[in-house]
C-alpha cells in the first residue's frame, strides 16, 4: 500500500485540475478525494501505458510519465485519505 | 443536464460493481457517488467510443454500448446526486 504523506509531496502537479483537497476545479475532471486507492493506482497506470485516449488523456499521460510505481501508489493512498 | 430519477432506473447493471449507493464493491473499481456528472458522462462516452482499454474497459464498453447519450447523461446525474 502507498504512503499518503509521500503522495501528498508529489501532488502539486495534480492540484490545478483536481483541487487542493481532491475536489476538481472543473466539473469535467473527476474528484479524487476518497476514491479507492486501488482504482486510482490502476487509472494512473492506464494513462501511463497509453490505455486511455480522448479528453485529457494526453495531458494525464504527460503528467504520469515521470512517476514510478511507488509514486503512483503513494498518490493513490494520499487521495483516498482525503475526505470526499 | 441529465435526469437523476431516470438515471436511477437505468442503474441496475451498474450496481454489481459500483454498489447500490455508488460505493464500489471492490476497491479496484471507482466509487461513483458524488462524482462530477460532467466527468461521468465523459467517461461513459470514452468507454463507448473505445477510448479506454485494459482493466475492465471491455466490460464497461459492453455495458454502455446500449446506452443513448440521454441515458448516459441521466446516469451521470444520478451518481452525482448520491452522497459520497
What digits encode the pLDDT tens for the residues A21-48? 999 999 999 999 999 999 999 999 999 9
Across residues A61-83, what is the average pLDDT? Answer: 97
With cut-offs at 50, 70 and 90, classify the pLDDT of residue A1: confident
Q: What is the pLDDT of residue B11?
A: 97
pLDDT digits (tens, 9 = 90+) for A8-20: 999 999 999 999 9
Chain A and chain B share a number of CB contacts under 8 A equal to 70
Contact B46 A54 (CB under 8 A): yes
Under 8 Å between Cβ of A4 and A32: no
Q: What is the pLDDT of residue A69?
A: 97
Q: What is the pLDDT of residue B34?
A: 98
Q: What is the pLDDT of residue B1?
A: 85
Contacts of A57 in chain B (CB under 8 A): 51
Q: What is the pLDDT of residue A77?
A: 98
A51 close to B (CB below 8 A): yes
Across residues B73-78, what is the average pLDDT? Answer: 98
With cut-offs at 50, 70 and 90, classify the pLDDT of residue A61: very high
Q: What is the pLDDT of residue A13?
A: 95
Domain residue spans in chain A?
4-81
pLDDT digits (tens, 9 = 90+) for B8-62: 999 999 999 999 999 999 999 999 999 999 999 999 999 999 999 999 999 999 9
List alpha helices for A1-84, DSSP H.
4-9, 15-18, 37-48, 57-64, 69-81
Cα B41–chain centre separation: 8
CATH code for residues B4-81: 1.10.760.10
Mean pLDDT computed over every residue of chain A:
97
B59 close to A (CB below 8 A): no
Amino acid at each position: 500500500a502507498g504512503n499518503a504523506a509521500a503522495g501528498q509531496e508529489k501532488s502539486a502537479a495534480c492540484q490545478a485540475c483536481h483541487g487542493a483537497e481532491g475536489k476538481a476545479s472543473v466539473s469535467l475532471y473527476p474528484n479524487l478525494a476518497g476514491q479507492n486507492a486501488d482504482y486510482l493506482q490502476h487509472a494512473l497506470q492506464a494513462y501511463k501505458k497509453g490505455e486511455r485516449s480522448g479528453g485529457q488523456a494526453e495531458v494525464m499521460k504527460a503528467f504520469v510519465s515521470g512517476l514510478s510505481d511507488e509514486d503512483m501508489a503513494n498518490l493513490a493512498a494520499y487521495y483516498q485519505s482525503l475526505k470526499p
